[in-house]
Amino acid sequence: MQMQRQALRTPGGVAGRCPARVSCVAAPPTPSRTPASTGAVKRAMTMTEKILAKHSDKASVTPGDNVWTKVDKLMTHDVCGPGTFGIFQQEFGDAAEVWDPERVVIIPDHYIFTADPRANRNVDILRDVAQRYGIKYFYDIKDRGDFRANPDYKGVCHVALAQEGHCKPGEVLFGTDSHTCNAGAFGQFATGVGNTDAGFILGTGKLLIKVPPTMRFALDGQMPPWLLAKDLILHIIGEISVAGATYRSMEFVGDAVSQMNMEERMTVCNMVVEAGGKNGVCPADQTTFDYVESRTSEPYEAVYSDDTASYFADYRFDVSKLEPVVAAPHSPDNRKLARECRDVRVDRVYIGSCTGGKTEDFMAAAKLLHGAGGEVKVPTYLVPATQKVWGDVYTLPVPGCDGKTAAQIFEAAGCVTPAAPSCAACLGGPRDTFARMNEPEVCVSTTNRNFPGRMGHKEGQIYLASPYTAAASALAGHVADPRDFMA
């Protein structure tokens, strides 16, 4: 397990790092200091418990405690943002000011490239409130005809939050989107809230929440070359069910986690909500620090679970023994081995979303397509999560692919040209949304949910899969095991 430590990180180094264990320490009594400041009356805690204790000015917390936690960042987007600000104005009054306009992040991303007037009006409303309240981080889009003409526009909120330096270890992030748990990859407490809670945060900078118990998932061993993080989280959800982590924290540890890059860790934490989880979290390490410090100069404090912390449940997996999996319709826990679904004919493949539209996801899909050769047998839609990911698809050479970019490989394979960055068809959206399922088709998708109607048509069938499995299925025309196309 991760050795207990606590580190105050500042740009360029580490200060104030505590040793793992201290013995025989004597100090004069300091009765004027409170337990919250001294750490007296402490109990062994998990990462989530420590973060919530610190943000509620408590020496310790226990699962089930109701605490007022201070908020470091609040994120909202075009779907929930207008309602959130509406509740804030209604409850706090027309003259009220936002608690901290530099801690509110507004990211339009869901229904952007559409002619739907109501969807477009939502972005207009956000533009108005951002100006009215002086919101520093509003990633606006004005020209929907050419997303590249909008330097402030980013794309999918969860990936953009990370890329823009808003995700830092030890912090508390709330967002009006259930997949806000994505940011737990950075060792922070991150979870989704409704418009009412978000409106309250806008006015106060705090929220009353119940401390969740923690489930620990140790992912040991070396990842086989045909597995990706998406396979791991689908396997876990299939193991515990969509209700198996209801209002619990899911903590991911082990060699397989420490060997992942940040984007793969985001994939794992992104889908904890599909198991009912309150939040997911990975211990911060040098990989985390390097990512964060290349994107923000703000200090942060990483915390780690105590060795003797109590967990609601302990799971251990040897990832070297796992196979590629899919989640068959119509639930994320309907786990099947990919090789068991070879008789399922596919009408389309979709690679995108906060879960499966990051740079590493496209690199993986392109790598498989290049190695296999040939062309896809079904329409294969590509939706980069952000402008940066879109740029990477067109400029970064895919490792081991003769210097070719992902875009070149996708074009050679006959895929649909990569679309403008957004959530696109992941949540269905207006009928003119790119790649929306307007017919009852079968789709292999790197997204996070396969409920009826999720990507459009209520009779559509969605198989959730990794980018490797999605690319293999595009080549095969049916649900395929990526090992069929990997040397």
pLDDT tens string for the chain (487 positions)? Answer: 443 434 455 544 443 333 333 333 333 344 443 344 344 447 999 999 999 999 999 999 999 999 999 999 999 999 999 999 999 999 999 999 999 999 999 999 999 999 999 999 999 999 999 999 999 999 999 999 999 999 999 999 999 999 999 999 999 999 999 999 999 999 999 999 999 999 999 999 999 999 999 999 999 999 999 999 999 999 999 999 999 999 999 999 999 999 999 999 999 999 999 999 999 999 999 999 999 999 999 999 999 999 999 999 999 999 999 999 999 999 999 999 999 999 999 999 999 999 999 999 999 999 999 999 999 999 999 999 999 999 999 999 999 999 999 999 999 999 999 999 999 999 999 999 999 999 999 999 999 999 999 999 999 999 999 999 999 999 999 999 999 999 7
pLDDT of residue 10: 52
User: Residue 288: what are its φ and ψ, rounded to 5°?
Assistant: -65, -50
CATH 3.90.180.10 matches 73-208: no
pLDDT value for 17: 36
Distance between CA atoms of residues 346 and 477, nearest Å? 5
| Closest of 189, 240, 213 to residue 312, by C-alpha | 213
What's the length of the chain?
487
C-alpha 471/C-alpha 461 separation (Å) is 18
The DSSP annotation for 344-380 comes to -B-SEEEEEHHHH-SHHHHHHHHHHHHHH-S--SS-E
List alpha helices for 70-178, DSSP H. Answer: 81-92, 117-133, 157-163
Other C-beta atoms closer than 10 Å to the C-beta of 416 total 18
The SS3 assignment for 56 reads: coil
Closest to 36 (Cα-Cα) out of 63, 67, 66, 60 = 60
Sheet containing 172-175: which strands, arranged edge to edge?
137-138, 104-106, 73-76, 172-175, 189-192
**CA–CA separation, 186 and 29 (whole Å):** 37
pLDDT on residue 487: 73
CA–CA separation, 26 and 243 (whole Å):
48
DSSP 94-106: TT---S-TTSEEE
Q: At 364, is the secondary structure helix, strand, or coil?
A: helix
Q: Cα dist. 225→183, 229, 290, 323, 415 in Å?
A: 26, 11, 25, 11, 24
Please give the pLDDT value at position 20.
Answer: 37
Where do we find the tokens 């070879």?
342
State which fold the 325-480 domain adopts: Aconitase; domain 3 (3.30.499)
Give the residue extent of every domain in the chain: 73-208, 325-480
Please give the helix or strand (H or E) that residue 467 lies within, else none. helix 467-476
State both tokens at 207: 């929220």
pLDDT of 8 reads: 58
Query: In the prediction, which pLDDT does 392 show?
Result: 98
Tokens representing 45 are: 């805690």
Question: Residue holding tokens 């990512």?
Answer: 291
Check residue 107 and give its pLDDT: 98
CA atoms within 13 A on the CB side of 387: 17
Q: Which residues, in sequence order, are CB contacts of 49 under 8 Å at separation 6+?
A: 60, 61, 62, 63, 211, 214, 309
What integer pLDDT is reported at residue 58 of this predicted model? Answer: 97
